Amino acid sequence: MELHIFAQQLLNGLSLGAIYGLIAIGYTMVYGIIGMINFAHGDVYMISAYLTAIAMSVVFSFGVDSVPFALLIILAVAVLVTAAYGWVIERIAYRPLRGSTRLAPLISAIGMSLVLQSYVQVSQGARNQGIPTLIKGSLRIGSDTKFVQMTHIQLLIVAVTVAAMGALTFVIQRTSLGRQCRATQQDRKMAGILGIDTNRIISTVFVIGASMAAVAGVLVTLNYGSFDFSIDFITGIKAFTAAVLGGIGSLPGAMLGGVILGMSEALFSGFVNTDYKDVFAFVLLVVVLIFRPSGLLGKAEFEKV
């Protein structure tokens, strides 16, 4: 086996894993605070892909030709609108069910996912959409024939994922908002008695989760150049798997789970067989969950009797 091929597969896995990790952050944050799996998260990511394309065509129609400036505007538009979606989804699909059983919001999340997907399919059409290549070029190390490379956009994705994870960890661990989040997570009623507006905290978490999905939507769309209304499904499932693998509720766990999932897919595909890479990835998940039921970095939950 040639070394540069092996290194390249690791990098392929890293960039794929970073994408999973970026989307997994949204799953893991919502779960961490209210113990609910937000199945509509993948759809929010899909919507941000459409917003990217719309914002891009508007930005270019105003004759903006500086790429970093255009990218900033696109990112701002996508994050703001997607965050609004996150807030509205929480407001109409989850908050009314706050007091009911644990399964009720799960079902309304699935319903929300179907609503969003169908809404985009009807309003935007079923055909796949594309955007022009905004960030070109790649970083290559090695000789002309034997090199390892990452495209600039892949490097950007890894950097943004690490930065986002760091920033969110800081917010959760060090700020007043973070303390309120953790208090809400530990005991919602008690937090409420102590003067924390728990509804507002939960809304904030959804807005942050949706913003992360928007960042992922922009970067992933720029990376692959095309998308359609059904991209939520496979990517959403994989990101969710990454969150579970790393330990759902843990931010570094989302990143770790994403990278492990991405790398195991890339290495199995690259050196064994592409047909069964997903089988391998899920076998890995099962094995991890057998030995560590709450994931690699997850905290074990104790039921108080």
Partner 1 sequence: MGIRTLRKFMAAALLSGCLAAAQGAAADTIKIAVAGPHTGSSASVGEQFWHGATQAAADLNAAGGINGKKIELVKGDDACEPKQAVAVANRLVDVDKVKAVVGHFCSSSTLPASDIYAEAGILQMTPGSTNPKVTERGIATIFRMCGRDDQQGTVAADFVVKRLKAKRIALIHDKDTYGQGLVDAFKSRINKLGVKEVLYEGLTRGEKDFNALVTKVKAAKADTVYFGGLHTEAGPLVRQLREQGLKVNFISGDGINTPDLVTAAGGKQFVDGIYMTFGLDARNLPSGKEVLEKFRAAKIEPEGYTLYSYATLQAIAAAMKATKSTDGKKLADWLHKNKVNTVLGPKEWTPKGDIKVSDFIMYRWDATGTAKEVK
The nearer residue to partner 1, 57 or 274, going by C-beta atoms, is 274
In angstroms, the CA 64 to CA 124 distance is: 25
Least distance from partner 1 to the Cβ atom of residue 117, Å: 9
* Cα separation, 213 vs 244, whole angstroms: 17
Give, in order, the Cα–Cα distances in Å from 170 to each of 177, 178, 252: 11, 8, 12
**Radius of gyration, CA atoms only, the chain:** 20
Min dist CB 18 to partner 1, Å, is: 11
Nearer to partner 1 by Cβ, of 20 and 27: the residue is 20
Report d(CA 131, CA 113) in Å as an integer.
24
Residue 126 Cβ vs partner 1, minimum distance, rounded to whole Å = 4
Query: Which residue number, 96 or 125, has a Cβ lying nearer to partner 1?
Result: 125
In sequence order, which ranges of the chain are alpha helices (DSSP H)?
A: 3-34, 41-61, 67-89, 103-124, 152-174, 176-186, 188-193, 198-224, 231-246, 251-271, 277-291
Residue with tokens 């089988």: 279
Instruction: Note whether 215 and 162 are within 8 A (CB).
Output: no
Give least dist CB 107 to partner 1, A.
10
**Smallest separation, CB 106 to partner 1 (Å):** 12
Q: Least distance to partner 1 from the beta carbon of 295, Å?
A: 23
Q: Using the minimum distance from each CB to partner 1, give the nearer residue, 16 or 51.
A: 16
Identity of the residue, 225 or 293, whose beta carbon is nearer to partner 1 in the bound complex: 225
Q: Which chain residues interact with partner 1 by CB under 8 A?
A: 2, 5, 8-9, 12-13, 15-16, 19, 110, 114, 121, 125-133, 138, 140, 147, 149, 151, 224-226, 228, 230-231, 233-234, 265-267, 269-270, 273-275, 277-278
Which residue, 57 or 121, is less far from partner 1 as judged by CB? Answer: 121
State the minimum distance, in angstroms, from the CB of residue 45 to partner 1: 13
Which CB atom, from 124 or from 169, has the smaller least distance to partner 1? 124
Give the chain's largest Cα–Cα span: 66
Q: Are 36 and 226 in contact (CB under 8 A)?
A: no
What b-and-e string marks burial along 209-222, b requiring 16 or more CB atoms within 10 Å of the CB?
bbbbbbbbbbbbbb
